[in-house]
């Protein structure tokens, strides 16, 4: 009976994909609306990958909802329509993801798309005439597999620790579109090795230049490998892949040229964006409810333009508006500024302090009021430089789904970061070594598969 239920679940997913209209932006050529079962050309495969509604505008947001960069008042918390979001916010295990269309669903939907592409390519001959397009499509397939698995690991798995990863539960590794293959949880070691393999294959096959940042490029893939290695606290590798991404795209936005009073100060598809991935503003994270914690807001220097560009006042609350989406939706994709910080941390951790400081100061010069004197970061003490990089990382990359993963990885190093909800009556606390850093897998998935729960 469980096997039948499981097959029905995946059949429902197949039918949704097969019958759903493939979306396209105006910047793309019109593509035919085909069912997956009849895909037979590279044009049709690219049309599937250009389904931006599912691949670019939907991703798991729970990591940001659980972060300590913002708070909800009691009134805002009680007004949330999703009980699961309340439980994620307060780090309460169980029933954190409601219904069947949730963060888990979208994570594995992206993996399913990737597997569909890779399996379909086996039926299309690679020739001298189509090699570039064939390779680029293959790279996109690998990218969506690897990036979605990484996003899922940051939510539903504990932090990677090399001495225990092979004995720690990871995630199901869906290697094909075959509905009859049961889902079982791999080790955390195997999970990270799989997502690294997929993302490195994406680096190999993706085009350097895409028609639009809605499609992942080679630089985006390098960036995601760097992000994965940083989550593993493998600093030399994180710096290497960040450097490779920056060799392809390194220009930073000069915040002196940004209109700080604008409702949405950054342009859509701006120059720092490596791959455009956003999440439509869920209630738990939107400006009506989410306020930036005082300690973070007050950490910005007066002449740091981010304090004006990133935030606005709403009912005497500091709320975030600095989305690289160019809209109210939150930007969760890789970007150039993240790569400068990844490389800086990698250099600092490996005691290449002049390089780390150079990256940090390069970034800050683009964030500082040019009418004011900027005093460069400068120190020969490794721990001081690391602390500076981590402080700027939090101030630069807030509301991008990264803080939760940073806290997890830093706590494996002994940072002892305890998360507390101090701005409402819930009084929630998440201790540094809590199992709550691995969120509950949706109960519907546990029922369907029999996998062990976190």
**What is the distance between the alpha carbons of residues 170 and 187, in angstroms, rounded to a whole number?**
5
Q: Indicate if the pLDDT at residue 33 is higher than 90.
A: no
For the chain, give me the number of helices (H) and strands (E)? Answer: 18, 10
State the Cα–Cα distance between residues 445 and 451, nearest whole angstrom. Answer: 8
Q: What pLDDT sits at residue 8?
A: 35
Greater model confidence, 17 or 316: 316
Section 32-44 average pLDDT: 66
Q: Percent of the chain having pLDDT more than 90?
A: 87
- Beta carbons within 8 Å of 32's beta carbon, 6+ residues apart: 43, 44, 47
Banded model confidence at residue 3, pLDDT cuts 50, 70, 90: very low
Q: Would you say 170 and 187 are in contact if contact means Cβ atoms under 8 Å apart?
A: yes
Q: Which domains are present in the chain?
A: 2-256+332-449 (1.25.40.390)
Cβ neighbours of 169 (radius 10 Å): 18
pLDDT digits (tens, 9 = 90+) for 249-287: 999 999 999 999 999 999 999 999 999 999 988 999 999
Closest listed residue to residue 420, CA positions, set 63, 71, 64? 71
Question: Which pLDDT score, from 0 to 100, does residue 14 have?
Answer: 41
Nearest alpha-carbon partner for 147 in 310, 330, 299, 334: 334
Question: What is residue 423's three-state secondary structure?
Answer: coil
Taking the C-alpha atoms of residue 339 and residue 222, their distance in angstroms, rounded to an integer, is 10
Q: Report the C-alpha gap between 286 and 398 in whole angstroms.
A: 14
Q: What is the pLDDT of residue 181?
A: 85
pLDDT digits 0-9 by tens, 53-112: 999 999 999 999 999 999 999 999 999 999 999 999 999 999 999 989 999 999 999 999
Give the residue from 385, 392, 390, 396 showing the smallest Cα distance to 355. 385
Mean pLDDT across the stretch 296-319? Answer: 97
Q: Is 60 exposed, middle or buried (0-12, 13-18, 19+ CB in 10 A)?
A: buried
List the one residue out of 99, 130, 91 whose CA is nearest residue 440.
91
Burial per residue of 129-145, b for 16 or more beta-carbon CB atoms within 10 angstroms, e otherwise: eeeeebbbbbbbbbbbb
pLDDT band at 19 (very low <50, low <70, confident <90, very high): very low
392-426 per-position pLDDT tens digit: 999 999 999 999 999 999 999 999 999 999 888 87
Q: What is the mean pLDDT of residues 315-343?
A: 97
DSSP 253: P
What is the residue whose two structure tokens read 């789904």?
401
Q: pTM above 0.85?
A: yes
Give the separation between CA 237 and CA 226, rounded to whole angstroms. Answer: 7
Residues near 162 by beta carbon (within 8 Å), at least 6 away in sequence: 232
Average pLDDT over residues 201-230: 98
pLDDT at 158: 98
Closest C-alpha to 338, from 259, 238, 419: 238
């Amino acid at each position: 009976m469980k096997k039948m239920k499981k097959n029905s679940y995946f059949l429902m997913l197949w039918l949704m994909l097969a019958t759903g209209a493939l979306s396209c932006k105006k910047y793309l050529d019109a593509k035919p609306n085909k069912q997956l079962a009849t895909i037979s050309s590279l044009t049709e495969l690219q049309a599937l990958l250009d389904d931006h509604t599912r691949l670019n505008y939907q991703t798991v947001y729970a990591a940001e909802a659980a972060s300590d960069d913002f708070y909800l008042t009691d009134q805002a918390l009680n007004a949330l329509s999703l009980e699961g979001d309340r439980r994620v916010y307060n780090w309460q295990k169980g029933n954190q993801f409601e219904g069947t269309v949730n963060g888990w669903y979208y994570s594995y939907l992206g993996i399913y798309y990737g597997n569909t592409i890779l399996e379909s390519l086996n039926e299309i001959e690679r020739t001298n005439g189509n090699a570039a397009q064939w390779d680029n499509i293959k790279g996109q397939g690998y990218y969506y597999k690897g990036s979605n698995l990484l996003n899922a690991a940051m939510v539903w798995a504990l932090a990677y620790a090399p001495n225990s990863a092979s004995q720690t539960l990871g995630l199901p590794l869906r290697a094909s579109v075959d509905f009859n293959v049961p889902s079982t949880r791999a080790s955390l070691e195997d999970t990270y090795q799989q997502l690294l393999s997929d993302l490195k294959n994406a680096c190999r096959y993706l085009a350097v230049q895409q028609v639009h940042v809605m499609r992942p490029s080679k630089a985006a893939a390098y960036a995601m490998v760097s992000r994965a290695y940083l989550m593993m606290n493998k600093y030399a590798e994180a710096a290497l892949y960040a450097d490779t991404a920056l060799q392809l795209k390194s220009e930073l936005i000069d915040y002196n040229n940004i209109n700080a009073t604008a409702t949405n100060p950054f342009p859509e598809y701006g120059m720092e964006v490596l791959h455009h991935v956003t999440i439509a503003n869920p209630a738990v994270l939107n400006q009506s409810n989410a306020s930036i914690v005082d300690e973070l807001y007050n950490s910005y220097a007066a002449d740091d333009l981010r304090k004006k560009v990133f935030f606005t006042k709403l009912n005497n609350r500091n709320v975030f508006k600095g989305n690289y989406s160019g809209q109210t939706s939150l930007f969760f994709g890789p970007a150039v500024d993240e790569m400068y910080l990844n490389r800086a941390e990698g250099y600092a951790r490996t005691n290449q302090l002049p390089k780390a400081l150079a990256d940090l100061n390069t970034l800050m010069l683009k964030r500082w009021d040019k009418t004011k004197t900027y005093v460069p970061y400068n120190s020969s003490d490794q721990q001081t430089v690391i602390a500076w990089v981590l402080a700027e990382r939090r101030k630069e990359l807030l509301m991008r789904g990264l803080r939760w993963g940073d806290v997890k990885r830093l706590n494996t190093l002994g940072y002892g970061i305890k998360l507390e909800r101090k701005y409402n009556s819930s009084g929630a606390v998440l201790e540094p070594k809590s199992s709550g850093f691995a969120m509950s897998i949706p109960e519907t998935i546990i029922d369907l598969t029999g996998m062990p729960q976190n």
